[in-house]
Structure 1
Amino acid sequence: MTENKAAAQTLLLVESLKVLKNSRSQHETEETIQSLLKLDFEVPFCTSDVGEDLLRICVLRCEQCPSMATAPLKELIWLFQTSTENQINLSPTSIDLLVKFCLKRVLSGPIPQIIVSFHALGSLVYQNSHLLDSNWPALHEVLRRSLCDNEDVDSIRHSALKILQSLTIRRDKETGYLSASQVDAIVAMIIEGVIKKTNYADETLFCKIRVATMKTLLNLVNSDAVFQAEHMGYILGYLRHLTFYGFPGYASRPIKSFDLFPSPVCHQLPHIDMNELDGNRDKPVMRRSHGKKQNNRAQKSESTTQLDAQDDSDSSPSRKRYLPWTAADSSDADTSDPENAQDALTLNKRLRNMKAKVRQIAYDTIRMLLLTINKKERFGYLLNFLPQQSSPALRSTEHTLVLSMLKDPDARVRSSSINVLKDFIANSKQYIILACESTHATSFTSISEVMASVITELHRAIHLALLAETLPLFQIPLLSCLSLLTNASPYNRLRASIVMDMIGDLRKILTSKFEQVRVAALTCLGGFAAYQPRHTEIIRCLGLDSDHWLEVYCSSQLLGPEIEANSVRVEILQTLTAFVSNHFNYCIEVFGEIYVPVLESVLVDPFGPIRIHGMKLVTALANKIADSSSTENELVMKLGKSMWQETLFQRGLIQKCIFPPAEGESDRTPHEVRECQVLRRETFTALAEIGSVMWDNLPHSNQKFCICALLTHAKATTDDVALAAIRTLGIFCTYDGTAFDTILLQDVGEMCVHLLGKRINLSLKQKVSWTLSNVCFALWTLCKAESVRFLEEISPEFFNNLLRLSIVAYDDKDAVRVNALRAMGLLLGMVTESYMHKEIQLYKEAVRLLMETMALSSDKFFKAKWNACYAIGWILRNPTTRVLVNIDASLETLEHYLLECINLKVQIACISALDQLTEAHDLPVSVHTQAFSILLRKTSRVSEIQVSYKELKHLQSVKENLSLAVLNYLSKSDQEVFRCLPTLMTEYGECLEILLKDSLSNLDVKRTLEDFMKTPRATSSSQINKFIIEISEHMPEYSIFEAPE
């Protein structure tokens, strides 16, 4: 039947086309168009080419007959453009012809004909908005007259807005879009023709006009259009008014002006980087995220899709995937009045729904508009939507976002307001932290006081909303808001009583049947557990000092007979990790009952993310055990042995995490393979936290397994796994016992040689060079402690390969060069003639590079400079390499950097280099005299150093290192080569005394000074005696030491 109908209509179409081509009569043309309007456009009967030819011929015939009515042809255009079975792909020439035809006399004639003209024009614009540049002036004029000059007919205004809505759709990145001037013109039309017109006879049509207006603005925002500042403030003020349009019990207030300005208190905000628009940091945060962040445009798209699918059908960029203009114009069909629904109750209900829809889209539009401006300005605008006073009298009367969140009867509006609040908290952390109540009256309201009131009100409101809402649609974003607010706010602004009640309510929410609600509740509890500094009421409410209820709950969900959802189990492990990281002293009490069984279970779980987060828990435990074991805590040592030896190694958990079972390896998906790689990386990270004490207590077989696994995977093709393995090996090389394991040091060194000889990425190369410098430091330790063994077990070939590798790495990026300089300095400081005599040119090249680095005048390479300064000290101390440098020139360079360099770490390195010379007794007296004179001159300049607060610790380090160096020289004044040094102290005694007073907080300085005062001397100069007497007089704590006669 349908096929017969389609064939008949196709035949009629062909005949009509012939008639139109040969027609010379207006009457015949009109009859033909009328016959075409009677066709069933739901049946496919027309190809794209035939349809295009038909419309072109019809337009030409109408233009030849000026008196001919245009409405039927416009209706025919509309029918073809909106038909899903007979869509026409128009050429640019045809589009231009049809648009110009539709724009002619569009505002003349009866209203029904005007509406038909707008429908035809809208269907063309909707399908071809990116091809209308040549028609923009005429189109703009028609739309401006419809919106701004039209005083009475709101249906025409609504139709014009629907065309604007279609015009602002961005098809794709490749096609062109509206220019900045066109965007400004559209926004100006909206302000003049919609926002400033406040009198509407029909509230239903009023709601439709508002919705179309806001969807047009959303289209502009999603297309990255830029709004002028004056337009932005006016639109936000208007949208703020709409957020309470139709709010029950709140009559609309007369508005003289919608102008909205950023809150004046935002001028008090500290300067942060405001030059760039918001990027990845502006993504709305739902929970703790460990994945990669999406870009800002993706966020906008995701946020916009939260509108109903029916509402968004008219803002789609592709007619092949979305409904045509008919659907675009029927987005309000659910709120239109059918013929048989005229009773007042039904009409009132629909009107309430339409008003709620206006409020919802108003919040969605506010949210998206604010993402287009910088953080500081956005923060100032958002303060206008939040309560800035804690007065109970204002809570129920002030039109704020919080009032919508708590009392709006429509669920969609409450959800949208919560999303706006969540974005505010997530993107204003650097301002929320400023909250502080004033203890005295001030002449103005400070930003800290405003934020204190805002935080208090938000905390109270979120708590009330959580008590009222039971659906996950609201509970999840509310819990996200609570987590963000807890992490960002000063604790004293959160009100301890509400925090305690909140934790109790969260405990109840953990029994929710919705897994995402449980996840969000655990995130909040983990946030409370991670709060620093720790607070007694939080510890008490979380049961850390009593029944450990939360840890018991976590353990039961992980180990219980009922299988919990994977997302909840992952969040449980993150919460336990937060407990360990911040409350380890309390976790010790249930370590064996909870944490050990949990590790035994999760590390063999079939779900990959569970094993990964279980290993992160191991990392947190290992870190805390290593820190506590350094203080010789016997209980912690016992727990560490239980975890590492009895649980992780004896049960084979570490082994399985590094080398998964081979069964089914060929059947693993790429995702499963990647999970194994990430688990291996986290295992190596956990091993890096084991600490020297726990490492030394491991059985030799376990140590050997770890070293072999690390060396194997350090050469892996997966960069993050290789980087974790190399980093762990580098940390192992810093352990005290490792310095005497020459086999390990040579294996790690050869691994570094192998990797740096390959093409690897920069981050991996940087970590390899860091590990190389640690190997060299371990060799330095071995050389100082057991020089004979060092010469026997470290071959010249290996030693020279390390130096050659360091020279090669020096030519790389700065991050690699810094480590290469450290390695070169250490190797040159311990080299002997037996290593150097065959490769003398190699060592000369290394010294040349060090001296070049010292001579760099740029301030960019401070880290390279201070490593070079350390290296010069080691070279001058070593008689073997001393002959390769100019001693006088080296001392002059050290003096220059010590007295003139603005970087304090470079000064510390220079002091250390000069201090190294005290061990070189074979240097001439003139060298020691010059070095000591440089140090004394520095003591007179220390008081002139001006630093910021962040550099105070470095300034203190300069004073302490300088004090130790001077005392080290003076303590050797009875030796022949140093005997003339005290005579240089005549004019620096007072400066040196002040320096020592400032440095006595350091135990090393205090101990060195005590030893210096107590030690008897065979010969003592008058300057030394005078110095000791002055110290005894001005530092009473040292008066018990008798000055020598």
Structure 2
Amino acid sequence: MCPRGEEDEAASAAGGPVSQRTCGAIEGGFPAVPPPCPQAGAPGSTARSPLRTGWSRTPPALLCPPPGPSPDVCAVLVQACQLVSLDQEHLVSKVCQLIHHLLNRYQVMVDEQNLNFLLSYCISALRQCSSWTHVEILQALAALVYNNGPKCQKYLPDLLGKAGLLLQFSDPAQPDVELRRAAVRSMANLCLSVPGQPYLDESYRSVCFQTFLSVLQSSKTADVDDITFCMLLQSALKGVQSLLNGGKMKLMQTDQIGALLAVLKKCMFHGLPGLSIEVPTALYPAPLPQYDKRSPVKQEQSEPATSNRRKKCKGKQKKGEFGEEGREDSGDAGNESVLGADMLKLHLGDVQNSPGADPRPRASDVCAGKDPLSSHPTGWKLISSSESEYSDTEGGIQSKVRSYQANVRQGALACFLSTIKSIEKRVLYGYWSAFVPDAPGIGSPQSVSLMTIALKDPSPKTRACALQVLSAFLEGSKQFLSVAEDASDHKRAFTPFSVTIASSIRELHRCLLLALVAESSSQTLTQIVKCLANLVSNAPYSRLKPGLLTRVWNQIKPYISHKDVNVRVSSLTLLGAIVSVQAPLPEVQLLLQQPSSSGLNSSGSATPRRFSSCEQWRKALPWAGESPLDNPAGCAPPEPCWLLCLCVSIIALPREDSCSDSDANFPSLASVYEPCPLRLEALQADQQILCVTLLLGLNHSENPLVKAAAARALGVYILFPCLRQDVMFVADTANAILNSLHDKSPNVRAKAAWSLGNLTDTLIINMETLGQSFQEELSDLLLLKLLRSATEASKDRDKVKSNAVRALGNVLHFLQPCHVANPRFREAIKESLQALIATVGSEATMKVRWNACYALGNVFKNPALPLGEAPWATQAFSALSSVVKSCKNFKVRIKSAMALSIPSRRECYGSTEQFCQIWSALVVALQRSEDTEDFLEFKYSSSLRTQICRALLHLLQLARSTDLPLIGGSLRDHGDAIKPYVLQYLRSSGEENEAGVHTDLRERERGLQGAIDHLSGIERELQGKARVRVSLTELSDVAGGKSARPGMSRALGLSELSAFCPNPGLDV
């Protein structure tokens, strides 16, 4: 379907065929151009002759233009415009229809020269011709500017300036809605971005955004038909989406965000059967649900039908149909469904009597095993019947209106998805209550939300769009949802925010499980399960009452055997998310300990029979490597986790299906059901050689997808112990990866860089485990190639750069003194170090800078490098000192502080001035460890302080007597500020924090004891010189506290520590 015009779009919405790139539509020539109607003062006879001469000279090849650029078609269009003067308005209208028809139907690419002529013609026609021609002219203009926005820069003042034509025709005061729609359509096509081309200026973007917003905020008047109004809304929504996607527009102002979200919420429910809401002109961030003004609804007719259906549902509920949890949830579906009339105050009475209403089947009816149509009133059942009271014409119009309304809802949801990506998460979650369901209060209706669409909308595609938006909303919400808590039943005089969020999480679980039961579309079902997996990955179940995961677990099990493979895959992903819930929960442990039979069969008859047969095989046959004599008689072996068995059975399913229980050779099936090997070592030697040879060959494939997969697989294989110690395999893999690292495909280069990082990791492992022998066997030429290629890759895009710098750090760590002294290596080492230092201080992504700091830390571990005297060392320490003080990302700060604490000798830190600059940078970084604009970074502040304190103690253990005066001055100026952080570091227990930094109490004791012993040794060496006493009374108090270990008390037994400064009497 071509997005230039709306003929195909209308045909698609009405259920008709979409035009393809064929010539059947104009097989015999151009569309017939009727004789022009004589205009006043413009006799038609003088104009027809040259125009028809032009038509007759048209080559047959132009009647069905081939795909791609068609200069002949463009030339014909230009010729037609040259033949038709602007005073012949009827012919101008026909020429514009021809432009629109050809460009829309055949997607002809217009070159810049012809585009300039045709645009000038259309703009002049808009200025000079009568208003009745403007719609056709604007349609031609929309087709011309589609994907040609960067080429139209010089015409933007005429179109989008203060008195621009498109602004005039799209004004809310414009009485002609068709004209306004055509203008908005042209404006939306102008906003489309072209990769690699400049986008609209900010002033034009702002004008277009405000125009689209005013269109979406407008209401339909009585003289406008539904389809035209829907097309107007669609054009505005596409325009907003183009601005957000193509222009990388960031929504920052609260008024702008609130106004856009308000109109999107309004359009999300446009034409939804049985629902009428009024949304305010702007939404504002609020922790509680905002007021939704509902239109008065009629419930008298709906209440009896609803109550009867509820009674039938309860009466016909079959025992054991969905297990205990299934029965519990299906009861909730009947009583608490968002689809219920009592909850949503829907127009059920009106909908029953309206044509074309096609609401979703109730979840309660589905769970009771009813035919979805049997529970609906007759008016709904007879929509497609010939006995309908509406004629075919009326029914067709109603169907078309519903299709266009569904397109508006889908467009609003797609635009909302782009909006979510354009708003910072911390801002977006201020509008949580406006789009995410919350449990309704007593006597109050439930607010409409994204789940209302997922449960109520008759279009499966719209339901899937709503669930996709909800998934995007939930993605990355772990920090926001972490405040939720409802584990306590303590009664409060008010509802805390934590309880409100917990209630919202529970309602999300309930609504998604209802949607899971009621859904029939496989595509939408996949989105529901993905949304559940996203919710499970972010919800803080340790702070919520147990039972939520059990309901999800029991209701998802039947879908493991669904006929659609995407549903099966997403179901397994959801089970994996449940198992991966942080802070392992007893609830999950109990679910995993369920017997295999109940784990696979208790959730309904939909579970496939092949799984139960697999279980029989599993019980009858010993596991690979297990002897039947290992178990004493009468003692059954412990049954493995049913989920693991299920995963293995799915992997081995083709082999299992080839056998049957009645096979005479059934006892020999142990070899058939042998689990797939989890390690390469489990394969035979010839099979290992086959796998390695195959991957090395595929790495030279011309298909970039194959080559990328092969490069990544080599990066996995190099980590296997049986291969990483083989020097020949390491060399072959290195050469293959280096070949892929220079590929023209960015994806191949990214995978190759990741594999290169893994390969260099194995170099370090082999150096530490195998010693110098492995270093000597590896070719110097290969090392040099690795160094140069990684340096070059560090200048590539971020996905390549992040692993290239990791590889650089490993290779520089691996080098021996002979390499450092080699003239061939000297220049390569210098360039690689400069690349690392530049990356640390660059504006690259967090992952790139984190890896660069990690790489410099690896460089500092190599004693062969002249760290204390080399010029690059000063630059490296300066870059790390700057990052540890001012980087916005705390993880990068942590890694830079860690790198600064790696050199093991004082000489490595260089001069006294440089050593004290590093000390001062760490002190400043400790003071700024809580300064951040992003609240998501706060969880890493404790890890940052731990690492900085560790680095400071490390520097004290290495300090010389000449360093102490400057260190003492730093303590004198900042001692009071950093003392609480140091005391907190000494008091904290040994745990692994958010950044993965393990803080061991014994390690802190050793660090402190080392600093004390080192400074005491300096005191003994410098007896008789001027000295100052640095008091450790506060630290002694810490040692005597309840949290201190006896070893720390002994370490701090000295009440005072003597250090030397030129300023006697300093007491810190």
Match of 2:773 in 1: 743
Once the two structures are superposed, what CA deviation does each residue of 1:456-491 show, in whole Å capped at 9, x if it has no partner? Answer: 211111110001112212111111100111101111
Q: Please state if 1:403 is matched with 2:452.
A: yes
Offset, 1:124 = 4.2
Aligned equivalents of 1:164, 1:885: Cα separation in 2? 66
Look up the SS of the partner of 1:506 in the other structure. helix
**C-alpha spacing 1:448/1:91, structure 2 compared with 1 (3 Å):** same
- Pick aligned residue for 1:210 from 230, 241, 244: 230
Once the two structures are superposed, what CA deviation does each residue of 1:722-750 show, in whole Å capped at 9, x if it has no partner? Answer: 43222013124444xx4xx4423544696
Q: Which amino acid aligns with 1:647?
A: A
Match of 2:69 in 1: none
Contact 2:485 2:502 in 1 (8 A): yes
Match of 1:452 in 2: 502
Offset, 1:853 = 8.2
Contact 1:821 1:867 in 2 (8 A): yes
Offset, 1:383 = 3.1
Contact 1:144 1:189 in 2 (8 A): yes
Match of 1:118 in 2: 135
User: Where do residues 214-613 of structure 1 align in structure 2 (5 Å cutoff)?
Assistant: 214-224=234-244, 230=255, 233-234=258-259, 236-250=261-275, 252=276, 255=278, 258-265=280-287, 344-345=394-395, 347-381=397-431, 383-391=433-441, 394=444, 398-426=447-475, 428-437=477-486, 447-492=497-542, 496-543=546-593
Offset, 1:82 = 4.5
Look up the SS of the partner of 1:168 in the other structure. helix
Q: Please state if 1:961 is matched with 2:985.
A: no
Match of 2:630 in 1: none
- Out of 538-547 and 505-514, give the one that drifted further: 538-547
Offset, 1:519 = 0.7
User: Where do residues 947-1026 of structure 1 align in structure 2 (5 Å cutoff)?
Assistant: 947=981, 960-965=1005-1010, 993-994=1036-1037, 996-997=1039-1040
**C-alpha spacing 1:29/1:481, structure 2 compared with 1 (3 Å):** same
**C-alpha spacing 1:240/1:104, structure 2 compared with 1 (3 Å):** same
Contact 1:390 1:457 in 2 (8 A): no
Aligned equivalents of 1:962, 1:666: Cα separation in 2? 52
Offset, 1:262 = 2.6
Q: Please state if 1:26 is matched with 2:43.
A: yes
**Highest Rg: 1 or 2?**
1
Once the two structures are superposed, what CA deviation does each residue of 1:918-956 show, in whole Å capped at 9, x if it has no partner? Answer: xxxxxxxx989999x99xx99x97996233989967796
Look up the SS of the partner of 1:264 in the other structure. coil
Q: Which amino acid aligns with 1:744?
A: F
Contact 1:959 1:999 in 2 (8 A): no
**C-alpha spacing 1:214/1:435, structure 2 compared with 1 (3 Å):** farther
Aligned equivalents of 1:591, 1:190: Cα separation in 2? 51
Look up the SS of the partner of 1:946 in the other structure. helix
Aligned equivalents of 2:610, 2:1042: Cα separation in 1? 54
Contact 1:356 1:413 in 2 (8 A): yes
TM-score of the two chains, using structure 1 as the length reference = 0.58
Percent identity of equivalent pairs? 14
CA RMSD of aligned residues (A): 6.5
Match of 2:120 in 1: 96
**C-alpha spacing 1:904/1:349, structure 2 compared with 1 (3 Å):** closer
Aligned equivalents of 1:102, 1:894: Cα separation in 2? 69
Match of 1:760 in 2: 790
Q: Which amino acid aligns with 1:73?
A: L
Aligned equivalents of 1:78, 1:402: Cα separation in 2? 45
Once the two structures are superposed, what CA deviation does each residue of 1:607-649 show, in whole Å capped at 9, x if it has no partner? Answer: xxxxxxxxxxxxxxxxxxxxxxxxxxxxxxxx9xx9779725x
**C-alpha spacing 1:47/1:239, structure 2 compared with 1 (3 Å):** closer
Contact 1:730 1:770 in 2 (8 A): no
Q: Please state if 1:59 is matched with 2:93.
A: no
Q: Which amino acid aligns with 1:453?
A: S
Once the two structures are superposed, what CA deviation does each residue of 1:778-812 show, in whole Å capped at 9, x if it has no partner? Answer: x9xxxxxxxxxxxxxxxx96897799899857666
**C-alpha spacing 1:139/1:728, structure 2 compared with 1 (3 Å):** same
Q: Which amino acid aligns with 1:241?
A: K
Match of 2:98 in 1: 80
Query: Would you tell me which structure has more helix in proportion to its own residues?
Result: 1
Look up the SS of the partner of 2:85 in the other structure. helix
Contact 1:386 1:454 in 2 (8 A): yes
Q: Which amino acid aligns with 2:135?
A: F
Once the two structures are superposed, what CA deviation does each residue of 1:114-148 show, in whole Å capped at 9, x if it has no partner? Answer: 3x552344334433575554653463475257x51
Contact 2:901 2:951 in 1 (8 A): yes
Q: Which amino acid aligns with 1:760?
A: A
Contact 1:29 1:61 in 2 (8 A): no
Look up the SS of the partner of 2:448 in the other structure. coil
Look up the SS of the partner of 1:682 in the other structure. helix
Contact 1:52 1:94 in 2 (8 A): yes
Look up the SS of the partner of 2:882 in the other structure. coil
Q: Which amino acid aligns with 1:539?
A: Q
Aligned equivalents of 1:360, 1:823: Cα separation in 2? 53
Once the two structures are superposed, what CA deviation does each residue of 1:488-539 show, in whole Å capped at 9, x if it has no partner? Answer: 1111577643421321222110111111111111110111111111122223
Aligned equivalents of 1:210, 1:342: Cα separation in 2? 22
Once the two structures are superposed, what CA deviation does each residue of 1:25-57 show, in whole Å capped at 9, x if it has no partner? Answer: 736458879999999999978986676556545
Match of 1:106 in 2: 130
Q: Please state if 1:675 is matched with 2:675.
A: no
Contact 2:216 2:236 in 1 (8 A): no
Aligned equivalents of 2:392, 2:1012: Cα separation in 1? 100
Look up the SS of the partner of 1:813 in the other structure. helix
Contact 2:209 2:240 in 1 (8 A): no
Aligned equivalents of 2:266, 2:643: Cα separation in 1? 56
Look up the SS of the partner of 1:510 in the other structure. helix
TM-score of the two chains, using structure 2 as the length reference = 0.57
Look up the SS of the partner of 2:287 in the other structure. helix
**C-alpha spacing 1:362/1:217, structure 2 compared with 1 (3 Å):** closer
**C-alpha spacing 1:964/1:247, structure 2 compared with 1 (3 Å):** same
Offset, 1:260 = 2.2
Aligned equivalents of 1:166, 1:901: Cα separation in 2? 54
User: Where do residues 692-707 of structure 1 align in structure 2 (5 Å cutoff)?
Assistant: 706-707=726-727
- Pick aligned residue for 1:859 from 859, 867, 881: 881
Offset, 1:994 = 3.6
Contact 2:559 2:568 in 1 (8 A): yes
Aligned equivalents of 2:1046, 2:180: Cα separation in 1? 81
Aligned equivalents of 1:469, 1:125: Cα separation in 2? 39
Look up the SS of the partner of 1:169 in the other structure. helix
Q: Which amino acid aligns with 1:483?
A: A
Contact 2:474 2:535 in 1 (8 A): yes
- Pick aligned residue for 1:200 from 219, 222, 227: 222
Q: Which amino acid aligns with 1:533?
A: A
Aligned equivalents of 1:853, 1:35: Cα separation in 2? 77
Q: Which amino acid aligns with 1:77?
A: V
- Out of 662-671 and 504-513, give the one that drifted further: 662-671
Aligned equivalents of 2:653, 2:398: Cα separation in 1? 59
Contact 1:749 1:772 in 2 (8 A): no
Match of 1:148 in 2: 173
**C-alpha spacing 1:969/1:509, structure 2 compared with 1 (3 Å):** same
**C-alpha spacing 1:558/1:775, structure 2 compared with 1 (3 Å):** farther
Q: Which amino acid aligns with 1:76?
A: K
Aligned equivalents of 1:54, 1:928: Cα separation in 2? 89
